[in-house]
Structure 1
Amino acid sequence: MKKLSLIILSLLLISLVSAQNTRPNIVIIYVDDLGYGDLSCYGATEVQTPNVDKLANGGVKFTDGHCSAATCTPSRYSLLTGRYAFRKDAAVLPGDAPLLISADRPTLPGMLKQNGYRTAVIGKWHLGLGNGDVDWNGKVAPGPLEIGFDYSYLIPSTGDRVPSVMLENHHVVGLDPEDPIKINYKKKVGNDPTGIENPELLRYPSDTFHGKTIVNGVSRIGYMSGGNSARFRDETVPYQMLNKARLFIDESQEEPFFLYFAFHDIHVPRLPDAPFIGATNMGVRGDAIVQMDYITGELINHLEKRGLSENTIIVFSSDNGPVLDDGYSDEAVELLGKHKPAGPFRGNKYSAYEAGTRVPTIVYWPGTLEAKESDALVTHTDLYASFAELIGHQLNETEAPDSEAMWSTFAGESKKGREFLLEESVTLSLRHGNYKYIHPTKKNPSWIKVEKNIESGTSIEPQLFDLSKDIGEKVNIAAKNKKLVKKLQKEIERIQNNEVTR
């Protein structure tokens, strides 16, 4: 009898393990500053992206897919928490900011880990680290490991901010304890040359904001001294990320895994490796797109070589719209030619106009999802609840409060998108069908135009556009549609005042 009980228990355990292993792996490939028109599968003609095109041609390609915000930190916050970033007052963080996501906040990796997934983040982080007093020479915590990730390999903030090092789990990679790191965002530390003081040492000029400590021939935001053996070379970072992703995949084949692969490309400073220089006629920005496509292809190839592709969902997208001159004079503007980074849409990164958040969005699951194009209105904020729905996880009352379960839409089985979709920039905007409403501001943020030469999209008056007739958001019809404006304004107020939306 005892032997029979052991056999039954063994069969139950085998059944449980088997059930866990049938859950699909999930890979989110998150590109930085990639615009709607930056891929050949979305209409680009001056650059070719065959590996991303493979995903688009074999999966569900969305034409009305959105990140949650027109800048990086807020989008990443919403993606990982299913919560709008304005609730946290999240903005683009400095390089020494504390961890933005509190350890008690439910997260997408935490939810998946709870359901048997092994989880990793590899690439750009930019969500803060520590509690405001990081010791870069010791244990850097709290960080990704405290909010649901089993493994992390990171650019701590972003490539144009110090410290210019890689962080693996809690420690800086390759650090010499005899050459400790010092970071300061207010005053100079050490004797390292800066872009402001030594412009002759730069590969290309920068503005004063990006003109502090020079690393790898490029000046950065903030001051850094020490850590010379740990400082990264921008050109090799994509390969390092790819190798770490391959290792994570190889070590996770016996259980379902979640990989958040966050590119630094095509964010500034743009320093593609030698094989990609001259791949386009658009200079380093175009060449960085080709490099991103290559790394994406290598990641897909590795999944295929390991026989994992048919049990792996890949979501490919971008954290915000495109930007050309973002602090460095790298000829992105001068060499643009006929290329349209935002496609047919108005605005760019930072902007309340549609190009600020409408980005390439592809869901690929070979053997399961049919290849198709979808015009459903979708947002990254809903990936949390949608993956929970897919694996049978019941969200609690306060978990992912702004995320809606829409797996059938992401899978291309339904055409039903969001009824209302919030877009965050320097103001809040709302999509409702083909209508786009931009909430008025008390004053226009002039720095976006002055410093970035980008239209902010804001006005002291309400703005309403009918995108079915006016894709370029040129004709404000708010004055003629006061009833609709009032409805959309009321919905924004409801969202602002009600965190739990399910």
Structure 2
Amino acid sequence: MNVRLNGFRRLGIAEVLLGLTICGPALAAEPAGARPNIVLIVADDLGYADLGCQGAKDIATPSIDSLAAGGVRFTNGYVSCPVCSPTRAGLLTGRYQQRFGHEFNPGPPARAEPHFGLPLTEKTIADDLKTAGYVTGMVGKWHLGYQPKFHPTKRGFDEFFGFPGGAHSYVDAKADPANLIYRGTTPVDEKEYLTDAFAREAAAFVARHAKERFFLYLPFNAVHSPLQAPDKYKERFASINDPKRQTMAAMLSAMDDAVGAVLKELRDRGIFENTLIFFISDNGGPTPGNASRNTPLSGFKAQVWEGGIRVPYLIQWPGRVPAGRVYEQPVIALDILPTAVAAAGGSVPADRKLDGVN
């Protein structure tokens, strides 16, 4: 499938990969018996130019960069909104969030409208992959409704570790009594730096389900405010003089380590070669707020200039996706659902209108 935007043809991800592949079958041609595990990693408020593979000189991100080196980096990757929750609604449904009235962020947990969340009429990528026989897990930030009916385990996920809100202290699990850390539906008094805790839980999910087909959704809250990082990460960036940039760099480095922990677990379990990995940010960097950089783009988070909606966008699937390629044709976060479901050998009912394309 394809769509036309402003007079030009936008290819689906599978078509892009088919066009880039020199040897071996394209993503869409993967035999059903070799269906991949699927990992979807989302950074929060990451600037377009904050990764090494995106041109950053002051922040080393070797684990995330390895996804670009081993896969495809899309230079014109977009999200469907310049702020957190609507982007996630679009990402998880493959549909523009305006179709179902989720074009705004919910308020803070204590003041949010109780009935505001991802509408129960919408199916998620987790629903689709669960139907296809996958074990589904989420570790990280939800931000799609606080009421029990909106809980991730009611939206297709078998397992959940994270928080329901849009932001969270990295160092105090109980900082906001209305936005606690949960394992499933049970609050936990997490003691680790939150990004490290997400690394631990994500790697543990991979270990538990290494002999099954699984989908892991890993939406970090890094590098969203509050700007907090342990000294062990800040010490890596003593050369950065701007305190705000230094802390953001430390938070990003912790997230890169977390990605590395997941990749290591995949390798240690012998399943790395058959794992399809997506990496994006939920929106552009809020440059004034966290010293992120969207160079050379204009604008930042909450704006519909390029800096608000054009994001790092990486895909890796060893042996199936060509390594080290850079592609300039536009793609969007909405494309991830139909692409992942197709790779999993699943399908989306014909009467469910998707805006993303495979």
Q: Same fold (TM over 0.5)?
A: yes
3-state SS, counterpart of residue 319 of structure 2: coil
Alignment correspondent of 1:245: 202
Amino acid at match of 1:35: G
Alignment correspondent of 1:65: 77
Aligned 8 A contact 2:132 2:345 in 1: no
Alignment correspondent of 1:126: 143
Note the C-alpha offset of 1:279: 2.1
Alignment correspondent of 2:6: none
Q: Distance in 1 between matches of 2:273 and 2:211?
A: 15
Match of 1:384 among 303, 316, 337: 337
In the TM superposition, what whole-angstrom CA distance separates every residue of 1:22-55 from its partner, at most 9, and x where no partner exists? Answer: 2100001100001110011111111111111111
3-state SS, counterpart of residue 128 of structure 1: coil
Does the alignment pair 1:34 with 2:43?
no
Amino acid at match of 1:72: C
Aligned 8 A contact 1:82 1:403 in 2: yes
Q: Distance in 1 between matches of 2:257 and 2:232?
A: 11
Alignment correspondent of 1:48: 60
3-state SS, counterpart of residue 322 of structure 1: coil
Q: Distance in 2 between matches of 1:400 and 1:377?
A: 20
Alignment correspondent of 1:307: 270
Q: Distance in 1 between matches of 2:151 and 2:353?
A: 19
Alignment correspondent of 2:163: 155
Does the alignment pair 1:283 with 2:300?
no
3-state SS, counterpart of residue 279 of structure 1: helix
Note the C-alpha offset of 1:400: 4.9
Amino acid at match of 2:160: S
Does the alignment pair 1:322 with 2:339?
no
Does the alignment pair 1:74 with 2:86?
yes
Amino acid at match of 2:167: G
3-state SS, counterpart of residue 140 of structure 2: strand
Aligned 8 A contact 1:64 1:376 in 2: yes
Note the C-alpha offset of 1:271: 1.0
Aligned 8 A contact 1:63 1:375 in 2: yes
Note the C-alpha offset of 1:283: 1.9
Distance of aligned partners of 1:325 and 1:355 in 2 relative to their CA distance in 1, 3 Å threshold: closer
Amino acid at match of 1:324: T
Aligned 8 A contact 1:106 1:399 in 2: no
In the TM superposition, what whole-angstrom CA distance separates every residue of 1:152-203 from its partner, at most 9, and x where no partner exists? Answer: 1112213348334201112212xxxxxxxxxxxxxxxxxxxxxxxxxxxxxx
In the TM superposition, what whole-angstrom CA distance separates every residue of 1:48-102 from its partner, at most 9, and x where no partner exists? Answer: 1111111111110111111211001011000101111122143111233446223
Aligned 8 A contact 1:384 1:400 in 2: no
3-state SS, counterpart of residue 162 of structure 2: strand
Aligned 8 A contact 1:95 1:128 in 2: no
Alignment correspondent of 1:404: 357
Note the C-alpha offset of 1:274: 2.5
Alignment correspondent of 2:304: 352
Match of 1:267 among 224, 229, 232: 224
Q: Distance in 1 between matches of 2:66 and 2:268?
A: 16
Q: Distance in 2 between matches of 1:89 and 1:165?
A: 23
Match of 2:213 among 216, 238, 256: 256
Flag the structure with more relative contact order, 1 or 2, with Cα contacts below 8 A and sequence separation at least 6.
2
Q: Distance in 2 between matches of 1:160 and 1:142?
A: 19
Q: Distance in 2 between matches of 1:142 and 1:78?
A: 15
Q: Distance in 1 between matches of 2:155 and 2:352?
A: 14
Aligned 8 A contact 2:81 2:309 in 1: yes
TM-score calculated relative to the size of structure 2: 0.81
Aligned 8 A contact 1:121 1:153 in 2: yes
Alignment correspondent of 1:236: 193
3-state SS, counterpart of residue 277 of structure 1: helix
Q: Distance in 2 between matches of 1:101 and 1:316?
A: 22
Aligned 8 A contact 2:163 2:181 in 1: yes
Q: Distance in 1 between matches of 2:205 and 2:320?
A: 24
Distance of aligned partners of 1:102 and 1:352 in 2 relative to their CA distance in 1, 3 Å threshold: closer
Aligned 8 A contact 1:103 1:146 in 2: no
3-state SS, counterpart of residue 136 of structure 2: strand
Alignment correspondent of 1:425: none
Alignment correspondent of 2:255: 292
In the TM superposition, what whole-angstrom CA distance separates every residue of 1:448-467 from its partner, at most 9, and x where no partner exists? Answer: xxxxxxxxxxxxxxxxxxxx
Unaligned runs of 5+ in 1: 1-18, 131-139, 174-229, 327-331, 334-339, 406-502
Amino acid at match of 2:186: H
3-state SS, counterpart of residue 100 of structure 1: coil
Q: Distance in 2 between matches of 1:347 and 1:377?
A: 19
Which shows bigger deviation, 108-117 or 78-87?
Answer: 78-87
3-state SS, counterpart of residue 338 of structure 2: helix
3-state SS, counterpart of residue 229 of structure 2: coil
Alignment correspondent of 2:127: 110
Unaligned runs of 5+ in 2: 1-30, 170-175
In the TM superposition, what whole-angstrom CA distance separates every residue of 1:208-265 from its partner, at most 9, and x where no partner exists? Answer: xxxxxxxxxxxxxxxxxxxxxx4x56x6111221121122112212221000001111
Q: Distance in 1 between matches of 2:203 and 2:116?
A: 27
3-state SS, counterpart of residue 310 of structure 2: coil
TM-score calculated relative to the size of structure 1: 0.59
Aligned-residue sequence identity (percent) comes to 32
